[in-house]
Amino acid sequence: MPTNPIPVFTPASSPPSAAASVFTPASPAPSAAASVFAAPSITPALPGVILPPVNGSFATVTINPAGGDNSVIYTANAVGTAGNDITVGYATPAVQATTTVQVAGNAITVTPGTKAQMIVTGTLTSNGSTPVVFGKALYAGLSSSKASYKSTPGDSMQLPVIRWNGSIWILMSPDLSFWHSSDNVATPDLVTTWVPQGSATGTPVVTAGVSRAEQVITEVNASSAAAALVTASASGTVTGSVAAVSATNLSGGASGPSSTPPSAPSVFTRPVISPTAPPAILPSA
């Protein structure tokens, strides 16, 4: 009986090499970076960060005199209910160039001056044709024992718009056109005769004005007694003159919480994503 031969598989090609035992995809092999899966790991949260406790609120008041562009905000410098005891008031403007601030206990009183600013008008030119327009002229201290005025009083390098030099009043425009007067009067609004100098033409009209809100802010913050209680700041534009206002209490000041430790919601924790874990090599097929 013929024996059945044992079938032997004979590949069409030669036996695969050792390298061929590794699955090789039809597409190009992925780069080293692409063959590694790096997973971020989330570590435990950092220790809790205690948020600062609410310490209460500062008392404030807005003084808004009759007129426009003259509202000033006063804010207590200390948090808590004590600020509600502070009052701010404006007295009837006095015939003076200064804007004065008095403090008695917790009461702050501002006295505006009726000559705290000078307003210069008139049909004026620098050369017969070019108009001259004067800006603001605010009290800037004394010059030869009489009030002087600048557009920026705190600027020591700026020349005054109006000043007394000991023998004449000098009026100077922003473009350096000049007028002078030998009228020996207390303030420039009392001058009756202004004489143009050089090519300047026209007759200036100088009138006095009550303290502006911006001057009140400057003087309150410059007063050590007032500044120990409040800080004054603008509420919008503050170029308008102020008027008398009765003493008004600040309000809204509140004390903070007791010394009881903050509850859990006041602790903020956040997870931290650490650098990626060591790469995991994907197994071959």
User: Is the CB of residue 217 less than 8 Å from the CB of residue 235?
Assistant: no
Q: Which residue in the block uniquely carries the two structure tokens 């008041």? A: 61
Annotate 207-237 with b (16+ C-beta within 10 A) or e (fewer). ebbbbbbbbbbbbbeebeebbebbbbeebee
For residues 102, 252, 63 and 142, what is the CA-based torsion angle, rounded to 10 degrees? 30
User: Is the CB of residue 139 less than 8 Å from the CB of residue 151?
Assistant: no
Let me know how many helices (H) and strands (E) the chain has, helices first: 2, 23
Instruction: Look up the pTM and report it.
Output: 0.72
Residue spans per domain, the chain = 56-113+212-255, 117-209
For the chain, which ranges sit under pLDDT 70? 1-54, 257-285
SS (H, E, C) 68-112: CCCCEEEEECCCCHHHHHCEEEECCCECCCCCEEEEECCEEEEEC
Q: What is the pLDDT of residue 275?
A: 56
Which one-letter amino acid corresponds to residue 20?
A: A
Q: What is the pLDDT of residue 207?
A: 98
Tokens of 112: 């505006």
User: Is the CB of residue 74 less than 8 Å from the CB of residue 83?
Assistant: no
d(CA 71, CA 213): 7
Q: What is the pLDDT of residue 24?
A: 45
Q: What is the pLDDT of residue 35?
A: 47
d(CA 49, CA 270): 9
By three-state DSSP, how is residue 179 classified? strand
For residues 193, 197, 201 and 206, what is the CA-based torsion angle, rounded to 10 degrees? -40
Q: Which residue in the block uniquely carries the two structure tokens 């200064």? A: 98
- Considering the segment(s) 56-113+212-255 as one domain, its CATH architecture is Sandwich (2.60)
Q: What is the pLDDT of residue 8?
A: 47
